């Protein structure tokens, strides 16, 4: 028995097929963009590794290596092959999780990064939380009280955060809050007496100590991370408050805000529902960029506070000409940037129907 489709059913079927094709094209376009970006990142790190004035063979064998040992090492490392073939070998190794062996630690670079990256992630995450909780409301309040004292304070905070070097602020913070007032613990991630007391599950000492119920470890770790997180969080506050203020000033001058006020809506609803709702999507991008910069730019902070993160690891690798560690760390930071950009793009599509 044959079934005849009505015109409405045909339209619905055609619409479903069209939607399926659109989603397939979007996924393919997203996958192609990801592949091209990742390939470009690999190409950049490969070129850096080949063009820096450091001979990887001499870095491994030393200056007194014999000519035969030098030649054998070049063959073992694949440096005798054409550049195109070297790049193919490099890409294949990275895709298999092989970033080489660190000359400094004698461990696989991927294992070293797994060990140090959670510390940077914990520090940057806590700093971003501080930046969002303080910077965003400060920017909104500054915009609603344009040219008043709170606006001048917010602009002053942004100015200081844009001009004062982070290492100087970190040293002053250690001098005041650690050496003079004794409010926080000193450099490092945790006191040696507590090291190894909790099992690693998430990589965050704060979370792992809470899971284990080790309150002494938690408060000691919190005392160590408080000052570096506050220093980085201040720069996040300065950046986010400045951007939020700019976004809000633009929205508060729009006609729909005047209309909302003319309808008798409360000022709180006009500001936090209508105006802030329209800046939420671009603000997500700003927060993601701030988080990315904290992951990448925490190098000086980690050095000042002896924080065992990827910034300290990368600095030590650079000082010791450990190119495998340098390139591996650079690659991980680049991948983090790509992942955050993709996440931001996805959030755009979720919260803003126009981006779909």
For residue range 161-193, list pLDDT tens digits in order.
888 888 889 899 999 999 898 898 888 888 888
Question: Does the pLDDT of residue 339 top 70, yes or no?
Answer: yes
Could you tell me if residue 17 is inside a domain? Answer: no
* pLDDT value of residue 49: 75
- What is the domain-level CATH number for residue 340? 1.10.3720.10
User: For the chain, what is the domain count?
Assistant: 1
- Length of the chain as a residue count: 356
**198/213 Cα distance (integer angstroms):** 9
Q: Is the pLDDT of residue 200 over 60?
A: yes
Judge whether 13 lies within some domain: no
- Return the SS3 of 101: strand
40 occurs within a structural domain: no
Containing domain of residue 207, as a range? 109-355
Mean pLDDT taken over the chain: 84
Q: With residue 294 as reference, give the H or E element that holds it.
A: helix 276-297
325/107 Cα distance (integer angstroms): 10
Name which residue leads in pLDDT, 340 or 59. Answer: 340
Q: Is the pLDDT of residue 197 over 70?
A: yes
Q: Give the contacts of 105 (CB within 8 A, at least 6 positions apart).
A: 112, 325
In a domain? residue 198: yes
Question: Is there a domain that residue 135 lies in?
Answer: yes
pLDDT digits (tens, 9 = 90+) for 78-136: 777 787 888 888 888 888 888 888 877 888 889 999 889 999 999 999 999 999 999 99
The model's pTM is 0.82
Query: Residue 3: which pLDDT band, with cuts at 50, 70 and 90?
Result: low
pLDDT of residue 238: 92
pLDDT at 50 over 80: no
- Domain assignment present for 227: yes
**187, part of any domain:** yes
26 pLDDT tier (thresholds 50, 70, 90): confident
Confidence of residue 15 (pLDDT cuts 50, 70, 90): low
> What pLDDT, on the 0 to 100 scale, is given for residue 17?
65
> So what's the pLDDT on residue 1?
46
- For the chain, counts of helices (H) and of strands (E): 16, 0
Higher pLDDT, 74 or 260: 260
Residue 27 resides in a domain: no
Give dist(CA 337, CA 37) in Å, integer.
11
**Around 283, how many Cα atoms within 13 Å sit in the side-chain half-sphere?**
25
pLDDT category of residue 45 using cuts at 50, 70 and 90:
confident
**pLDDT band for position 12 (cuts 50, 70, 90):** low
Name the least confident of 51-60, 241-250, 282-291, 298-307: 51-60
pLDDT at 134: 94
């Amino acid at each position: 028995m044959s079934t005849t489709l009505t015109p409405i059913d045909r339209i619905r079927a055609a619409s479903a097929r069209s939607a399926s094709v659109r989603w397939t094209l979007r996924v393919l376009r997203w996958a192609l963009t990801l592949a091209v970006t990742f390939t470009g990142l690999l190409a950049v790190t490969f070129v850096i590794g080949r063009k820096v004035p450091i001979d990887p063979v001499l870095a491994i064998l030393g200056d007194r290596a014999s000519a035969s040992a030098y030649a054998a090492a070049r063959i073992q490392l694949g440096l005798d092959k054409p550049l195109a073939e070297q790049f193919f070998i490099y890409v294949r190794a990275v895709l298999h999780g092989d970033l080489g062996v660190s000359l400094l630690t004698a461990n696989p670079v991927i294992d070293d990064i797994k060990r140090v990256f959670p510390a940077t992630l914990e520090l940057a995450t806590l700093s971003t939380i501080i930046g969002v909780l303080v910077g965003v409301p400060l920017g909104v309040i500054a915009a609603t009280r344009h040219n008043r004292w709170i606006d001048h304070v917010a602009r002053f905070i942004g100015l200081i955060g844009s001009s004062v070097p982070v290492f100087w602020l970190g040293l002053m913070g250690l001098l005041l809050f650690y050496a003079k007032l004794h409010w926080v613990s000193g450099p490092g991630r945790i006191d040696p007496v507590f090291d190894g007391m909790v099992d690693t599950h998430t990589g965050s000492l704060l979370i792992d100590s809470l899971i284990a119920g080790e309150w002494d470890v938690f408060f000691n770790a919190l005392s160590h991370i408080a000052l570096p997180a506050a220093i980085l969080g201040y720069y996040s506050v300065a950046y986010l408050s400045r951007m939020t203020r700019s976004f809000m000033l633009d929205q508060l001058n729009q006609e729909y805000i005047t209309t909302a006020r003319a309808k008798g809506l409360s000022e709180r609803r006009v500001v936090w529902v209508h105006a802030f709702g329209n800046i939420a999507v671009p603000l997500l991008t700003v927060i993601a960029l701030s988080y990315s910069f904290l992951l990448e730019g925490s190098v000086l902070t980690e050095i000042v506070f002896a924080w065992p993160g990827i910034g300290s690891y990368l600095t030590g690798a650079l000082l010791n000409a450990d190119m495998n560690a340098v390139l591996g760390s650079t690659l991980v930071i680049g991948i983090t940037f790509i992942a955050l950009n993709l996440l931001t793009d996805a959030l755009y599509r979720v919260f803003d129907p126009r981006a779909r």
